[in-house]
């Protein structure tokens, strides 16, 4: 018999710097999905030094604290532990993992943008995450 954790799907949200879009997507996913069904991690091919301050600020506005979040490099070991890759619209620079199902969400990079634009990106990411959770039946059973 397999342990219960084997039934939990791990979604990898990935981009180049892992300092904006992928951080927001993973944070929303983990806040909204049923942790007994699915969880999310994020990583980047060329991780930045830290999560963008404007991203930390707009996520704090919706009750999610990314102040201590750290960027992470996408490695083959990390990729081997996930079942779905979601890339953030970084074009040809987006990571790919051989044999792993992939979706690409075409989203602008929030780095250096004014807060109203970063909020709009944040809200778009939340909507993408909600659609993914709904489509895969990973919800908690409440709105």
Q: What is the CATH number of the domain that holds 130?
A: 3.40.50.2300
**34 part of a folded domain:** yes
Q: Could you tell me the residue range of the domain that residue 123 belongs to?
A: 7-136
Q: What is the pLDDT of residues 58-87, one digit of tens each?
A: 999 999 999 999 999 999 899 999 999 999
**141 part of a folded domain:** no
Both tokens of residue 132?
């993914």
Q: What is the pLDDT of residues 111-123, one digit of tens each?
A: 999 999 999 999 9
Non-local (6+) Cβ contacts of 22 within 8 A are 13, 14, 15, 42, 43, 44, 88
Q: What is the pLDDT of residues 85-102, one digit of tens each?
A: 999 987 777 777 778 899
**142 part of a folded domain:** no
Q: How many domains does one find in the chain?
A: 1
**26 part of a folded domain:** yes
Stretch 22-26: mean pLDDT:
98
The reported pTM is 0.91
């Amino acid at each position: 018999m397999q342990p219960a954790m084997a039934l939990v799907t791990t979604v990898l949200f990935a981009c180049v710097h892992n300092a904006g879009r992928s951080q927001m997507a993973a944070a929303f996913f983990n806040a909204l999905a049923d942790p007994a069904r699915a969880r999310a991690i994020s990583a980047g091919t060329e991780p930045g030094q830290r999560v963008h301050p404007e991203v930390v600020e707009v996520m704090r506005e919706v009750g999610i604290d990314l102040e201590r979040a750290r960027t992470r490099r996408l490695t083959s070991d990390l990729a081997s532990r996930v079942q779905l890759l979601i890339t953030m619209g970084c074009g040809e620079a987006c990571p790919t993992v051989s044999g792993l199902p992939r979706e690409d969400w075409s989203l602008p990079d929030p780095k250096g943008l004014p807060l109203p634009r970063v909020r709009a990106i944040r809200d778009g990411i939340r909507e993408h995450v909600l659609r993914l959770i709904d489509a895969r039946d990973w919800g908690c059973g409440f709105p």
